[in-house]
Amino acid sequence: MKKNLLDTINTPEDLRLLKPEELPLLAQELRQFIIDIIATKEGHLGASLGVVELTIALHYVFNTPEDVVIWDVGHQAYGHKIITGRRDQFHTNRRFGGLSGFPKREESPYDAFGTGHSSTAISAALGMAIASKLRGKDKHHIAVIGDASIASGMAFEGLNHAGVTNTNLLVILNDNAIGIDPSVGALKQYLTNVKKGTQKQDNIFEALNFNYFGPIDGHDLDAVIAELQRLKSIKGPKFLHLITTKGKGLKQAEKDQVKYHAPGKFNALTGELSPKTEHALPPKYQDVFGHTLVELAKQNKNIIGITPAMPTGSSLKYMMTEFPDRAFDVGIAEQHAVTLAAGMATQGLIPFCNIYSTFLQRAYDQVIHDVALQQLPVIFCLDRAGLVGEDGPTHHGAFDLAFLRCVPNLIIFAPRNEMELRNIMYTAQLGLQGPIAIRYPRGRGVTLDWKKPFSKLAIGKGIQLKQGKTVAVLSVGHIGNTVMEALGSLPVSHYDMRFVKPLDESLLETVFKTHRIIVTVEDGTITGGFGSAVLEFASKHNYTNTIRSLGLPDRFIDQGSVHELQASIGLDAASLCEYIKTLL
């Protein structure tokens, strides 16, 4: 049986042995290979399908890995992984113990820079290009960035600096008019006008001292290769504008680009999504947030919704549909989202600023300087807190409890279930003296009948869930449900502390006086998080109880299902049960 061309490609060196007329067939095979694997193993589909021709062209024209290619975000790097020696391992992509879903330096010399968050590629490639210039090395540095990512502030910062250097930098804009959701903002309109030939203003990239080329069809392999070959001989910072189609080669993925960004399992031949199970399931926390926000916004005209490029992922889309003039997708701009919310709060509006936990890291100074310092009542809703699963270390919401706990004036709350999320949202919009961060996990809650009447929560108050004797377990957030399962009939007390800040010190006084051993459980980093807060309390009040803190260890956690990851670090129900038994 004749081998597919793709089966002969183990490195880019193999790729460069092919004749130009063989490359379209390779593109077809590579595209089908991605579709076939992702159909059963799941992953980020649309972005990688859209850059198949570009991926082949880059490795065909440039001497990788000596010449470096950086894939911004990394959603688009599946083809790159497959033709750089990882074809036979690609079925393990995003799996526990397998390949990362994103470029990762430890994984391959062809992964020049680790990328999971957007808009970092230009800065990283420029740093490498400056290093090459200082060392007298003649090599190429390519950053591939999408039209949603290039609107981010950090991308502009990189472009602004690169334009006054004479480095060998090539920025390739993969322009498909969509990130996860459709791109937004004035730059999107500018790029649309460029593609239509109706742009009247000066070229923005030429104004930043880049040699601009394009736009060209990113699926015309011959044209892309010819342009890359030509650009190799041009000195200084260069900008190539490619027009691509996200999901190219799978009709449904081209038609519904939002859903097929990461579609789950689907039929590789027809593209039809696999049917979901019919039996009733608890809602996703993001949907509880989205529907509750609409419910509250109907009652309170001052409520505003804000998200940086995640209206579908955060479920702010429900409010955007119901109240389009009161809900804002600001694009990949977390810093702007936070300070925009702060500005609104000064005018008496009530902003719900929904940002994934891992992405709030990008706006830390704004949380401190623009919100907390001024005691502005911004309501931060931090989706994807804790372990998120297959997206791995770039996306785990591991650090929010630790990096927020040290910020003055900030309330931190973690709901154990859907009703608590609803109630804290209701409580927050009634009026607080400062900001609050509400952090909840990716995925489903635990309650089918969750849409109950609102109830105001007392700020800084925890609750007792179970009465025991010697040992007390203190938990915060959704992981409390795992603790409840772990404890079962064990004679152990269980408290849901709810608030990491302010701590319920009166409840802690009771716990420490009536139990010899205290165990804290959280799904955040053990360093500086909830457990640290309890230890600080004990030290402050001279308690000598035995205290054990369980949480995410002081290392980055790889990819895998949430249950696999919890089991690997002793945070699943079975491991917690065994650990508690040793204390009894």
pLDDT at 101 over 90: yes
How many angstroms separate the CA atoms of 152 and 198, rounded? 24
User: For 343, phi and psi rounded to 5 degrees?
Assistant: -60, -40
At 2 the pLDDT is 62
Residue at 474 is within a domain: yes
Same domain, residue pair 313 and 376: yes
pTM equals 0.94
Q: Do 412 and 524 reside in the same domain of the chain?
A: no
**For the domain that residue 381 is a member of, what is the CATH number?**
3.40.50.970
Q: Give the pLDDT score at 277.
A: 66
d(CA 390, CA 373): 36
Report which of 362, 380, 388, 383 is spatially closest to residue 315, judged by C-alpha positions. Answer: 383
Cα separation, 560 vs 576, whole angstroms = 19
* Contact (Cβ atoms closer than 8 angstroms) between residue 352 and residue 305: yes
Cα-to-chain-centroid distance, residue 118: 9
Within a domain: residue 456?
Answer: no
Per residue in 537-550, pLDDT (tens digit) is 999 999 999 999 99
The structure tokens 């809602």 sit at: 283
Asked whether residue 164 is assigned to any structural domain, the reply reads yes
Residues 419 and 473 both lie in one domain: no
Instruction: Please return the burial class of 252, using the count of CB atoms within 10 Å of its CB with bins 0-12, 13-18 and 19+.
Output: middle
Region 173-185: what's the mean pLDDT?
86
Number of domains in the chain: 3
Report the distance separating Cα 48 and Cα 44, nearest Å: 7
Confirm whether 447 is domain-assigned.
no
Burial of residue 375 (number of CB atoms within 10 Å: 0-12, 13-18, 19+): middle
pLDDT for 35: 93
The residue with tokens 């969509």 is 178
Whether residue 66 sits in one domain with residue 166: yes
**Per-residue pLDDT averaged across 396-423, rounded?**
98
Q: What span, in angstroms and rounded, lies between the C-alpha atoms of 270 and 267? A: 5
Residue 243 domain-assigned (yes or no): yes
213 with 325, same domain? Answer: no
Find the mean pLDDT for residues 231-247: 95
Cβ–Cβ < 8 Å for 228, 253: no
Tens digit of each residue's pLDDT (9 = 90 or more) over 424-451: 999 999 999 999 999 999 999 999 999 9
CA 185 from centre of chain: 21
pLDDT for res 549? 98
Query: Token digits for 236?
Result: 């200084």
- Quick one: 230 and 97 in the same domain? yes
Which residue range(s) make up the domain with 210? 6-261
**Residues 330 and 295 placed together within one structural domain of the fold:** yes
Calculate mean pLDDT across residues 259-285.
85
Q: 51-55, 264-268, 428-432 — which is least confidently predicted?
A: 264-268
pLDDT attached to residue 268: 85
Residue 445 belongs to some domain of the structure: no
Contacts for 277 with CB less than 8 Å, ≥ 6 apart: none
Residue with the bigger pLDDT between 390 and 182: it is: 390
Based on the domain organization, do 218 and 367 belong to the same domain?
no
Q: Which residue, among 182, 78, 71, has the nearest Cα to 116 in the 3D structure?
A: 71
Span 100-108, mean pLDDT? 96
**pLDDT digit string (tens) for 476-525?**
999 999 999 999 999 999 999 999 999 999 999 999 999 999 999 999 99
In a domain, 383, yes or no: yes
* Tokens standing for residue 39: 């159909």
Least confident span in 110-119, 128-137, 242-251, 564-573: 242-251
Residue 107 and residue 236 share a domain: yes
430 or 177, greater pLDDT: 430
Q: Residue 537 maps to which CATH number?
A: 3.40.50.920
Q: What is the pLDDT averaged over residues 286-315?
A: 97
> Same domain for 330 and 408?
yes
Q: Mean pLDDT throughout 166-194?
A: 89
Q: Coil, helix or strand for 150? A: helix
- Verify that 418 and 486 share a domain, yes or no: no
Query: Does residue 278 surpass a pLDDT of 60?
Result: no
Q: Which of 405, 423, 439 is the last residue of a domain?
A: 439
Which residues are the active-site residues?
246, 334, 362
Between the two ends of the chain, the Cα-to-Cα distance in Å is 64
Residue recorded with tokens 């007792």: 464
Residue type, 237: P
